[in-house]
Amino acid sequence: MLQTMWAKPSRMDFPISTPHNYQTETYVGLAIKESGLPRSSLYITTKYSSTGTPQQAIQQSLNKIGLSYVDMYMVHMPRALPDLESGWQEFEKMKKDGLTRSIGVSNFTIEDLQQLLKTAATKPAVNQIQFHPYNYASHKALLEYCSKQNIIVEAYGSLNSITQSPGGPVDAVVNAAARRIGATANQVIFSWVRSKGVTIRHERLQEYLAVEDLPPLTSEEIAAIDEAGAKGPPSWLLVAKRTMQHRFERAPLLCIMLVVAVMLSSIPFFTFWRYMQ
């Protein structure tokens, strides 16, 4: 199920990510219970963030979620395991004991993975990293290394290039591709990510799944996004300017709404004043 979902997401699966330090596990557990969905249709991921030992942390997570095992247990960041060798051995034991079906890492560099693999009996199934057109060039070597080691790379923050850094060189080529295939800019980014052999973390799932039904990006479009991303994101001044412009564009509507609200709130007063006359 792990390989199936990451290589080609199934519309019948319900992936749920609930890292311990996000403090959502209890609510996720309640939602799972109320959903009535069979456990086999759920894919539960949670992360270790150095709160207690890994063994203690996963037991706390399982108790909060109300499950006997998770499908993926990840190291949230390298510094969560000060002693990488002994810490990873705990993860391997949790997998052996059936507390998690798979184990993985997040935000690991090539150097972190090399250190881990020196002594690991079980390779991490996945390395979750922030990945988008503006950092693709700096991550090429990491993608190649993970591919050679059969470690799946899973992306988060892929939309940052157009949502957090609007107005940059990536916008134009992404929008042009979106118009050609009748997709959203988000879906073009998702399609570009998949073209790099990288999977998407479970965010905006419906929009991501719909990518399968769209025409693929051409090699020229993929190369154009690569080149635009290599130019780097817009300066923070440009981003701030565009953000302010967007807010000012909305200002007239907000002013009208404010005037209407004031007028409506004044009706009871004027009604009372006329009555007192």
Cite the active site residues. Answer: 22, 76
Calculate Rg over the CA atoms of the chain. Answer: 24
Cβ-based neighbours of 124, under 8 Å, separated by 6 or more = 75, 103, 104, 105, 108, 113, 116, 151
With contact defined as beta carbons under 8 Å apart, do 122 and 149 qualify?
no
Q: Where are the beta strands (DSSP E) in 177-220?
A: 199-200
With contact defined as beta carbons under 8 Å apart, do 62 and 68 qualify?
yes
With contact defined as beta carbons under 8 Å apart, do 186 and 159 qualify?
yes
Residue 78's identity, in one-letter code, is P
Structure tokens at 170: 């990536």
With contact defined as beta carbons under 8 Å apart, do 48 and 57 qualify?
yes
